[in-house]
A and B are shown apart, each in its own frame.
Chain A
Amino acid sequence: MAQVALRNVVKHFDKTPAVQGIDLDIADRDFVVLVGPSGCGKTTTLRMIAGLEDTTAGEIFIGDQLVNDVPPKDRDIAMVFQNYALYPHMTVYENMSFGLRLRKFPKAEIKERVQNAARILDITELLDRRPKQLSGGQRQRVAMGRAIVRNPKVFLFDEPLSNLDAKLRVQMRTEIKKVHQKVTTTTVYVTHDQIEAMTLADQVVIMNLGRIEQIGSPHEVYHNPKTRFVAGFIGSPAMNFLECRLVENSGDLAAVLTDKLSFPVPPARRARYAPYAGRELIFGLRPEHFIEKRSEIPPGAAVFDVQLDVVEPMGMETMVYFIINGVEVCGRVAPQAAGNAGETMPLVADLNNMHLIDPRTDQVI
C-alpha cells in the first residue's frame, strides 16, 4: 500500500514529446484512471511509473521513495497488460507464481497465495491449464491473478479490457471493481474508454497532448469540466458545442445563437459570465439537457422549436438530431415524445447545466 506522486514528469522519444510535465498525486488505496485519446501520453505515463520507460525529466515517488533509478522489479508494482502477456509455456499456476518463485518465496506460501488469488478471481479450476486453452476473459483474470499474488504496493493496468468483446468488457469491468473492493491496493488504470474511466475511478485524470487537462471525481469531471477538451471528451454522445455571442440587455445576459434563437443565462450564473458580455463564446450543453417539452417548465429552462433531422430510437430514450447554425445538435428525449424526421418538435434546453467556453483559451468559464 502506498501513495504515488509524479512531479513535473517529462518524457521525450528522441525529439518527440510524449509527456510534457505532469504533476499527479495518487492517494493510498485510490483507484485512479488515466483517460484520453490515442497518443495523449497516458500509457507512457503508466510505463514510467512501472519503470519500463525512463523519464526525461521530473521525479516519480512510490510511497516515500524516489524511484526514478529503481528498476521495475524493485518498485514493488504489478502490471496487467492489454494483451495479457501470459507466459505461453507455463500453466496458470506457474504463470501466477512466477514472480514469487523468482523472489524465492517458500513453496507453501506461494501455494496459499495463488489459491487465494484464484478464489478471488474464480479461476481455481483453471490452475493446471495453459494460456492457449483459456478464453479471453479467463486470460484476463489470470493476468490479474498474477498481479494480485504479488501483493504489490501499486497495481498498474494498461488498457486491460481493450481486447475483449463488448459484453465481456462490461462484465470484467464490474469484476475489476469487485477485486479492488476486496484487495484495496493503490491502482493506476489506463484506458481510452471514458465509460470505463467513469465507472471504475475514484479519481479520473483526463490527458491530452501529453498534459493533464483535469483531475477530479467522475461526477466532477462530468458536471464541471474545466476545459473544452474535457467537456467534449467525457460523456456519450458528446456535449454539443455552438458558437454564440453573450449579450447584455438591461441587466439580463443571453447567449445569442442565431437571429431567432437566444438562451437567457440563469440568474445564478450571471455574476460569473458578466465580464464576458459582448464576447464571442462557445455555448456547450449535453444532449440530456435538450429534452422534450413537459407540462411544467422548470426555472432556468428555455423552450424552442426545432426541425428534426435524424431520429434514433435507443429503447429507453430516443436521440434526436437537429441543425442549429449549420451545426448538428443532439438531444435526448422520451421515446413517446419524439417526432419523426422532418417534423418540427418543441424542445426544452435546461440552461442550469449550460457551459460557456472562451474560444481563445478553451477554458470553461
Chain B
Amino acid sequence: MTTATAQISAVPAQSVRYGSISRGRKRTLYWSYFFLCLFVIFFLMPPVYMLITSLKTSAEIGAVTNPWWVYHPTLQNYVDLLTQAQFLTFFKNSAVVAVVVVTVTMIVSILAAFSLARMKFWGSATLATGVFLTYLIPESLLFIPLFKIFAWVHQVTGIELINHWWVLCVLYPTLTVPFCTWIMIGYFSSIPKELDEAALIDGAGYLQILTRVFIPVALPGIIAATIFSFTVSWANFLYPLAFTTSADQLVLPVGIVTTLIKGDVYNWGQIMTGALLGAAPPLIIYAFLMDYYIAGLTAGATKG
C-alpha cells in the first residue's frame, strides 16, 4: 500500500491588483463629482444670491461692498412684506388659484386619460394625439384670441372676465389639462389589461375600476401630474400679466414685479424676499414628493 501525501508548495503570497478597474472607476467618479459640483454651483448661485440680498438693507445693497457677504444682516424685508396686506393678498390669490387649478386638472385629466387609455371607442386614438397637440401651442399665441373670447363673453352674458384673479382658474387648465392627460394616458396604458378585466369579472364597474384599481396603482403618475399642474399655476407669468391689472387681483409672480418696482426704482431687498417666499411652497412640495415625481416620469421605461 502506498500512502498518498499531499504536497502543498508554498506559493509566496501575492497581492492581487485590480488596478485598471478601480483606477478607471476612480477617474470616472472624479469627473462625475467635478461636473456635479459645477452644476450645483451654477444652479444654486441665483437662489443663494437672492437669500443674501434679502437679508440686506437697501443701503447695504446700494453700497460698494462685497455683494456675496452680509455685513449687517436684517429680517426687515421679511417683516415688511409679511405685514403688508397687499403681499398677503397676492399670496392668497396664488394659493386659491393653484388649489382650484390642481383640483380641476386632476379630475378632468384622470377621467379623460382613463377613457382614452382604456375604453376603446371610435376616434379615441386620434383624440389622445389631439390632446397632446394642444399642449404644443405656445401660450403667447393664445392670449390675444383669449382676449377676443372674453370680450365676446362679456358682450353676450355681461360677465366681465378681464381683471379678475379667478379667471386664472379657467385659463390655467388649458395649459395643465393636456399635459397631465398625456402623462396619465401613458401611465394608465402601462397597467396590464388583465388587471381591469379581473376587476370587471370581480364585479367592478368602470368607476370602481378607476377609483379602486387604477388610481391607487397609478398614484406615482398622479402625483407627478399634480406637481406639474401646481408648478404651472403657481409660477405662470404671462396670463396674469395680460389679464389682471388691479393690485388686489394680482397673483404672486406678477404682484411682486408690478408693486415692488416703482418706475425705475427697484426695491431689490423686498423683490428678492418676495421671490424667495414665493418659491417656498413648490420647493417644499418637491422635497416631499420628489421620489414619486421621478417614479412617475420614468414609468413604463422598463418592465417593473
CA distance A72 to B200 in the complex (A): 7
CA distance A146 to B200 in the complex (A): 13
Q: Is A81 an interface residue (CB 8 A)?
A: yes
Tell me whether A99 and B203 are in contact in the complex, defined as CB-CB below 8 angstroms, given that A81-B198, A85-B192, A85-B198 are known contacts. Answer: yes
User: Which B residues from 199 to 227 make CB contacts under 8 A with A?
Assistant: 199-205, 208, 212-213, 216-217, 219
- Contact indicator B203/A102 (Cβ below 8 Å): yes
Q: In the complex, what residues of B have CB within 8 A of residue A72's CB?
A: 197, 200-201
Q: Is A88 an interface residue (CB 8 A)?
A: yes
Q: Is B264 an interface residue (CB 8 A)?
A: no
- How many A-B Cβ pairs are below 8 Å? 56
CA distance A150 to B201 in the complex (A): 10
Q: Is A98 an interface residue (CB 8 A)?
A: yes
Q: Is A230 an interface residue (CB 8 A)?
A: no
Q: In the complex, what residues of A have CB within 8 A of residue B199's CB?
A: 87, 98
- Digitize B176-213: 1 where CB-to-A-CB distance is under 8 Å, 0 elsewhere: 00000000000000001011011111111100100011
Q: A77 to chain B: closest CB distance in Å?
A: 7
- Contact indicator A79/B217 (Cβ below 8 Å): no
Q: Is A338 an interface residue (CB 8 A)?
A: no
CA distance A150 to B204 in the complex (A): 14
User: Which B residues from 90 to 113 make CB contacts under 8 A with A?
Assistant: none
Q: Is A190 an interface residue (CB 8 A)?
A: no
User: Which A residues from 53 to 93 make CB contacts under 8 A with B?
Assistant: 71-73, 77-79, 81-83, 85-89
Q: In the complex, what residues of A have CB within 8 A of residue B213's CB?
A: 87
CA distance A87 to B200 in the complex (A): 12
Q: Is A323 an interface residue (CB 8 A)?
A: no
Tell me whether A102 and B202 are in contact in the complex, defined as CB-CB below 8 angstroms, given that A87-B213, A89-B216, A89-B217 are known contacts. Answer: yes
Closest to B195 in A: A85
- Contact indicator B201/A78 (Cβ below 8 Å): yes
Q: A208 to chain B: closest CB distance in Å?
A: 25
Q: Is A167 an interface residue (CB 8 A)?
A: no
Q: In the complex, what residues of B have CB within 8 A of residue A87's CB?
A: 195, 198-199, 213, 217
User: Which A residues from 120 to 161 make CB contacts under 8 A with B?
Assistant: 146, 150
Q: B67 to chain A: closest CB distance in Å?
A: 52
Tell me whether A73 and B200 are in contact in the complex, defined as CB-CB below 8 angstroms, given that A83-B194, A85-B194 are known contacts. Answer: yes
| Residue from B198, B208, B219 with most neighbouring chain A CB atoms (10 Å) | B198
Q: A6 to chain B: closest CB distance in Å?
A: 19
CA distance A88 to B213 in the complex (A): 9
Q: Is A52 an interface residue (CB 8 A)?
A: yes
Q: In the complex, what residues of B have CB within 8 A of residue A79's CB?
A: 197-198, 201
Closest to A77 in B: B201
Q: Is A329 an interface residue (CB 8 A)?
A: no
CA distance A51 to B213 in the complex (A): 20
CA distance A89 to B222 in the complex (A): 15
CA distance A316 to B195 in the complex (A): 44
Q: A147 to chain B: closest CB distance in Å?
A: 9
Q: In the complex, what residues of B have CB within 8 A of residue A81's CB?
A: 194, 197-198
Q: In the complex, what residues of B have CB within 8 A of residue A85's CB?
A: 192, 194-195, 197-198
CA distance A86 to B199 in the complex (A): 9
CA distance A50 to B197 in the complex (A): 10
User: Which A residues from 152 to 183 make CB contacts under 8 A with B?
Assistant: none
Tell me whether A73 and B201 are in contact in the complex, defined as CB-CB below 8 angstroms, given that A81-B194, A83-B192, A83-B194 are known contacts. Answer: yes
Q: State which of B192, B197, B203, B217 has its C-beta within 8 Å of the C-beta of A103.
A: B203
Q: In the complex, what residues of B have CB within 8 A of residue A103's CB?
A: 203
CA distance A146 to B199 in the complex (A): 11
CA distance A352 to B195 in the complex (A): 51
Q: B200 to chain A: closest CB distance in Å?
A: 5
CA distance A72 to B203 in the complex (A): 8
- Contact indicator B217/A52 (Cβ below 8 Å): no
Q: In the complex, what residues of A have CB within 8 A of residue B212's CB?
A: 98
| Residue from B192, B201, B202, B208 with most neighbouring chain A CB atoms (10 Å) | B201
- Contact indicator A52/B197 (Cβ below 8 Å): yes
Q: In the complex, what residues of A have CB within 8 A of residue B192's CB?
A: 83, 85
CA distance A329 to B37 in the complex (A): 71
Q: A72 to chain B: closest CB distance in Å?
A: 5
CA distance A296 to B217 in the complex (A): 69
Q: In the complex, what residues of B have CB within 8 A of residue A150's CB?
A: 202
Q: In the complex, what residues of B have CB within 8 A of residue A102's CB?
A: 202-204, 208
- Digitize A226-266: 1 where CB-to-B-CB distance is under 8 Å, 0 elsewhere: 00000000000000000000000000000000000000000
Closest to A90 in B: B216
- Contact indicator A52/B203 (Cβ below 8 Å): no
CA distance A77 to B199 in the complex (A): 12
Q: State which of B197, B200, B217 has its C-beta within 8 Å of the C-beta of A88.
A: B217
B residues with a Cβ closer than 8 A to A are: 192, 194-195, 197-205, 208, 212-213, 216-217, 219
Top 8 closest pairs, chain A to chain B, by CB: A85-B194, A99-B202, A73-B203, A85-B198, A102-B203, A89-B216, A81-B194, A72-B201
A-B contact pairs, 17 of them (CB 8 A): A51-B201, A52-B201, A71-B200, A73-B201, A79-B198, A81-B197, A82-B194, A85-B194, A85-B197, A86-B198, A87-B213, A87-B217, A89-B216, A89-B219, A99-B202, A102-B204, A102-B208
Knowing that A85-B195, A85-B198, A102-B204 are A-B contacts, what are 9 other residue pairs whose CB atoms are under 8 Å apart, sorted by A's residue number? Answer: A52-B200, A82-B194, A83-B194, A85-B192, A87-B195, A87-B199, A98-B202, A102-B203, A102-B208
